[in-house]
Structure 1
């Protein structure tokens, strides 16, 4: 199995972007307004960071929006190459995004809460370019749409990986100490890490180096 791609999320500045790329990141996650969780930055800053990122590195706009028009407008302001839908949307939204944002990849987050997540992943798969498995909870009064720092049941994640044919990113509580185990358990296409490579909220070079070493060893 080839080494999974690594997306470093919650990038907060051009300097953090440069550090993540220097350590080997294949993609960067840029968090727009969320009901909860870390890493939120202004859309002007998202656009500034995105403009500095060289191809072929992917830039992910993490959005909590669920209406097509709002998502389309947001992506056009930010200029990212990928839209990561952190909340669930109606099927028609995926269709409209495809039509109005040609060339922009769509990644749907699936919050792994149980076996129902497997069926949801199967349902969504035909409409998106990739799935991202996370540990949020959309049923809370204040939704958790990512950045929880919690792992979920990787056995269920493995079931989802085996049930779908699109690339699969694994997120949720990953760090240098558990990422090798996660890779062996799920065999994802990619990994998504935020809090596990930070110290006091700031991207930590030592943890980044340890993370990439662990991924390579796995």
Structure 2
């Protein structure tokens, strides 16, 4: 079985970017232009600098809730490989953005609304299933029923990225339950809001990618 890919999201510093890369993360997420209070949001200029520091073969992702009309310009300024869209966007609007963006499009969907995921299947390049709040934002730190997401992933054509309350301690079980294309973490590997715990990042990536290697072993945890 192909190892599950990992995305570390909400990166705010060059040190945290370097730690995620060293840990073996496949993708790095940068949060820009969101209407909710979060310590993980960075300015356009800061995001562009952090993206420029990412090495080749590590994907970068712009995570945003910006007005759809502003997304292409925002993406041009930040320069990521993919754009992760949050919020209540019609599938037709997502398709329109995908047609003009020089980037892959990931659409976040609420784990409690699997029908929405079906609407975006075939429109977005990947679907991120998260425990979102009323605004559509992720980063809630809450898990959801992984068996529902497992069944959803089995029927969708688009790759499914699992998010929501994942930590080094539970990610291996989550991977074995859902068998997602990738997993996404933000608050689950932080020492404080917006600051990553580098040991936790390393443990998260290791436990996610080795979830099927000795499934009865205890997961690696950060000291």
Give TM-score scaled by structure 2 length.
0.88
Q: What RMSD over aligned residues (CA atoms) do the two structures have, in Å?
A: 1.4
How many aligned residue pairs are there? 209
CA distance in 2, matches of 1:217, 1:131: 23
Kept in 2, the 8 Å contact 1:61–1:80? The answer is: yes
Q: Could you tell me which residue of structure 2 aligns to residue 86 of structure 1?
A: 86
Among 131, 135, 149, which residue is 1:135 paired with? 131
Gap regions ≥5 residues in structure 2: 212-223
Q: Could you tell me which residue of structure 2 aligns to residue 208 of structure 1?
A: 201
Q: Could you tell me which residue of structure 1 aligns to residue 165 of structure 2?
A: 173
Kept in 1, the 8 Å contact 2:5–2:209? The answer is: no
CA distance in 2, matches of 1:50, 1:191: 20
Matched, 1:121 2:117: yes
Q: Assess, with a 3 A threshold, how the Cα gap between structure 1 residues 14 and 90 changes in structure 2: closer, same or farther.
A: same
Gap regions ≥5 residues in structure 1: none
Q: Could you tell me which residue of structure 1 aligns to residue 33 of structure 2?
A: 33
| C-alpha deviation, 1:165, in angstroms | 1.3
Q: Assess, with a 3 A threshold, how the Cα gap between structure 1 residues 94 and 46 changes in structure 2: closer, same or farther.
A: same
Q: How does 1:53-92 map to 2 (within 5 A)?
A: 53-67=54-68, 69-92=69-92
Give TM-score scaled by structure 1 length.
0.90
Q: Could you tell me which residue of structure 2 aligns to residue 16 of structure 1?
A: 16
Q: How does 1:141-180 map to 2 (within 5 A)?
A: 143-180=135-172
| C-alpha deviation, 1:66, in angstroms | 4.1
Q: Could you tell me which residue of structure 1 aligns to residue 215 of structure 2?
A: none
Q: Secondary structure at the match of 1:72?
A: helix
